[in-house]
Amino acid sequence: MIGVKGLSRRVVITGMGALTPVGNDKDAFWSNLLKGVSGVGRITRFDPTDFSTQIAGEVKDFDPAQFMDKKEAKRMDRVTQFAIAASKMAIEDSGLDLDAMDRARIGTCIGTGIGGVETLHDQYKTLFDKGPGRVSPFFVPMMIANMPAGQVSIMFGLQGPNTCIVTACATGTNCIGEAFRAIQRGDADVMVAGGTEAAVSQIAVAGFCSMKALSTRNDEPTKASRPFDKDRDGFVMGEGAGVVVLETLESALARGAKIYAELIGYGTNADAYHITAPAPEGIQAGRCMQLAIDDAGLKPEEVDYVNAHGTSTPLNDKNETLAIKRIFGEHAKNMKVSSIKSMTGHLLGAAGAIELIASVLTVQQDIIPPTINYETTDEELDLDYVPNEARKAVVNVAISNSFGFGGHNATLVVRKYK
């Protein structure tokens, strides 16, 4: 297979770690997705009484001490703790023996859309209440967006490419896509890649509330996120992390690794339109999907399933539907489309990573997670959104979409490994 720029190294997924509002590991996450379980509830990280939106998809019962030293954990923002937890689970799942490998050939690409915003909030309060001398010396390294990737690299001694991509809600997808490219180019043989987010904080929620971007269905939190439903009224914030281990097929076969699926295509482009609104008619979003499909060397009709960005906002869901119909034509009627944000909420910079994990498991197990809370058909949205119940179906190829503020678009393509 020859992808973009003549790159030909085959890349497979051998490990996955997920920390989400519906499960604190990959298996719990997947099991609850298939059951249609919502992880959305009233915010507990702070008192949300004065906020127009009082709900979010929070990670429950997370103990960083299960994954790292307690002293070190105190020197990390929650966003970095999440990244380390998901990375440790992914590496363990992959069966990598790091001591037996050349760590200079193992890289890291983990991003976050917002970074250590909780630390920023807390330290600003310290500054104004107690003065500059009381601001933590760990403030900057706890807050900056590259630190999840940096800390994962340090903890596991990964000495290959170490990068962090920040593209808002496309972050996790771009990070995995660029890690894919790094392996294809020959810059690394293994990459630990994904996204992390911990933005359920007063300042971030207040900002999104002011934008009128969030659902205000506070009295029915589990029904608030309803992608593609006519009564959708905004997205629901979520938090967590998703990390995958990518490696060359040659490396995976040499060590007898289990292979979940093959990553075969990546596309990314820009709307070049507006800071928050998607471009009309989903033209560039569709082009992004086409770039990824072309990179994979496929025809559109070979795609069986779209794990949609599906945010539960009026414009996104409409434009993504139009984009799918534009690229897939008549085949769009035969495809399955679903959004796990209906259950997890929107994990912002981590969304694309956990959604790729769901796509990989869909391809591996031939079962599609549903779009829950789909109750009222929107006449403009006429695809098969796999409403309310998981569905068994042969899925040889799946794509996963992510579209971020600033007009960032990214799509990944995975295929059954044969």
Phi and psi angles of residue 412, each rounded to the nearest 5 degrees, phi first: -120, 150
- Closest CA relative to residue 326, chosen from 284, 379, 279, 374: 284
DSSP string, 11-54: EEEEEEEEEBTTBSSHHHHHHHHHHT---EEE--SS--TTSS--
Q: Is 288 a catalytic residue?
A: no
CA distance 116 to 76: 9
CB-side neighbour CA atoms (13 Å) of 206? 11
- Closest CA relative to residue 347, chosen from 17, 10, 18, 8: 18
- Closest CA relative to residue 192, chosen from 201, 183, 204: 183
CA distance 26 to 88: 12
CB-side neighbour CA atoms (13 Å) of 413? 25
Which residue out of 109, 164, 346, 408 is catalytically annotated?
346
Q: Is 346 a catalytic residue?
A: yes
- Closest CA relative to residue 155, chosen from 77, 67, 241: 67
CB-side neighbour CA atoms (13 Å) of 197? 35
- Closest CA relative to residue 354, chosen from 4, 124, 25, 6: 25
Report the 10 Å Cβ neighbour count for 41.
17
Q: Is 121 a catalytic residue?
A: no
CA distance 210 to 52: 9
Structure tokens at 403: 């579209």
DSSP 8-state code for residue 60: P
Could you give the 3-state DSSP secondary structure of residue 417?
coil
DSSP 8-state code for residue 241: E
Q: Hunting for tokens 């403009």 — which residue is that?
A: 380
Phi and psi angles of residue 352, each rounded to the nearest 5 degrees, phi first: -60, -30
Task: Give the type of residue at 75.
Answer: R
Which residue out of 169, 175, 209, 288 is catalytically annotated?
169
Which residue out of 175, 209, 309, 408 is catalytically annotated?
309
Could you give the 3-state DSSP secondary structure of residue 235?
strand
Structure tokens at 136: 């933590």
CA distance 4 to 292: 9
Catalytically annotated residues: 169, 309, 346
